Amino acid sequence: QSALTQPRSVSGSPGQSVTISCTGTSSDVGGYNYVSWYQQHPGKAPKFMIYDVNKRPSGVPDRFSGSKSDNTASLTISGLQAEDEADYYCCSYAGSYTWVFGGGTKLTVL
Amino acid sequence: EVQLLESGGGLVQPGGSLRLSCAASGFTFRSYDMTWVRQAPGKGLEWVSGISGSGGSTYYADSVKGRFTISRDNSKNTLYLQMNSLKTEDTALYYCAKRWSYYIDYWGQGTLVTVSS
Q: Whole-angstrom Cα distance, residue A16 to residue A62?
A: 15
| pLDDT for residue B29 | 98
| pLDDT for residue A1 | 72
Contact A98 B106 (CB under 8 A): no
Closest CA relative to residue B116, chosen from B39, B11, B43: B11
Mutant choice from B6, B47, B102, B104 vs A, greatest count of A C-beta within 10 A: B102
Mean pLDDT value of segment A53-62: 97
Contact A45 B95 (CB under 8 A): yes
**pLDDT tens for each residue of A5-54:** 999 999 999 999 999 999 999 999 999 999 999 999 999 999 999 999 99
Output phi, psi for A47, to 5 deg. -120, 135
What is the amino acid identity at position A57? Answer: P
Closest CA relative to residue B102, chosen from A73, A36, A2: A36
Per-position b or e across B49-80, b if 16+ CB within 10 A of its CB = bbbebebeeebbbeebeeebbbebeeeebbbb
CB-nearest partner of A36 from B57, B61, B103: B103
Closest CA relative to residue A94, chosen from B55, B50, B86: B50
| pLDDT for residue B77 | 98
Mean pLDDT value of segment B3-20: 98
> Greatest CA separation found in chain A?
41
Mean of pLDDT over chain A: 97
What is the amino acid identity at position B2? Answer: V
What is the amino acid identity at position B104? Answer: I
Mean pLDDT value of segment B68-81: 98
Q: Whole-angstrom Cα distance, residue B83 to residue B70?
A: 9
Q: Side-chain half-sphere of A31: how many Cα atoms within 13 Å?
A: 12
Q: Note whether B6 and B14 are within 8 A (CB).
A: no
Q: Does the beta carbon of B22 lie under 8 angstroms from any beta carbon of chain A? A: no
Strand, coil or helix: what is B30? Answer: helix
Please name the residues in contact with B34: beta carbons below 8 A apart, sequence gap of 6 or more: B22, B24, B50, B51, B70, B72, B79, B96, B97, B98, B99
Q: Whole-angstrom Cα distance, residue A36 to residue A54?
A: 8
